[in-house]
Amino acid sequence: MTLISENLRELRKEQGLTQDQLANLLGIKRSLVGAYEEGRAEPPVQNLKNISKVFGVSVDDFISKKIRAKKGINPLTGQIQESDADFGGAKLKVLAITVDSEENENIDFIPQKAAAGYTNGFSDPEFLKDMPKFHLPNLPTGTYRAFEVSGDSMMPVTPGSILIGKFVPDFAEVKDGDRMVLLTRSEGIVYKRIKKHSDKSLKLISDNPAYDPYVIPFDDIQEFWKVVLFVSDDWPGPHDLEKGGGEAQGENRILEVLEDLRKEMKALKKS
């Protein structure tokens, strides 16, 4: 957590503001306030000025000094607010993100050639800054990332396909049968179906029967991304759809809608 993120959370708690309330005061999205507080993104100059104005501190103090909790004036109610020493959310996963010029979260694309670097740089905004980026309309609220598939363990999802996953911040949200991109310490990026094996481990299952399931401890996993769709140059055939049932048919319909995205992702892979 950075000095900026610590100060922002301290000041917000001190003034008794929720993230939604602060976002409204600053004219930005609540998710962006959360990203600032967790150190996943840094506010641009204009937002720093707005934050300083809301809390009555100088930009220089805000970015260079640790601001201690004290009584303050709630900018919404005008009332004196006691500081809150409980920084709830300390257990949240710190996830680096990037945003566009309008401060919307990007979907950062991790191609195969960058997979090894992602294992070491996944929490570094500087690493993600150099990755290709795009947006998709109408996705539910959340943080998304795209990964290029390597290997054939999850056929009919073929090597070179693009998986788009939604970040899962809590193990409790992982369900048996979910298709996940996992960032692991031992293997790097892997794509598998998962099944809870014990309170401390998961079983990873390949769709390709040539690959045996295996067990991995939770503490080997650094990130969970639940796969919500994929983009591929190889369209599933009738046999693949029959094997996959309604779920695969749903994926196929998504692919038809995202034909333009397929072309865009193909161009990104070449960049």
Q: In terms of CATH architecture, what is 107-270?
A: Ribbon (2.10)
Please report, in tens digits, the pLDDT of each residue of the chain (271 residues total).
Answer: 688 888 898 888 877 788 888 888 888 888 999 899 888 888 888 889 888 888 878 888 888 888 764 444 444 444 433 333 222 232 334 567 788 877 778 899 999 889 888 888 877 778 888 899 999 888 887 889 999 988 888 887 888 889 999 988 777 778 899 999 999 989 999 999 999 888 888 999 998 888 999 999 988 988 889 999 888 876 655 555 444 444 444 444 444 545 556 666 666 666 6
3-81 and 107-270 agree in CATH topology: no
Q: How far apart are CA 42 and CA 44, in angstroms?
A: 6
Q: Which residues contact 263 (CB under 8 A, 6 or more apart)?
A: none
Q: Look at the pTM and tell me if it is higher than 0.75.
A: no
* Alpha-helical runs (H) found in the chain: 3-14, 19-26, 30-37, 45-55, 59-64, 115-121, 125-129, 238-257, 259-270
At position 221, the amino acid (one-letter code) is: I
> pLDDT value at position 80?
36
φ, ψ dihedrals at 236, nearest 5°: -60, 140
> pLDDT value at position 235?
63
Q: How far apart are CA 158 and CA 171, in angstroms?
A: 27
- For the chain, which residues make up each domain, given as ranges? 3-81, 107-270
User: 3-81 belongs to which CATH class?
Assistant: mainly alpha
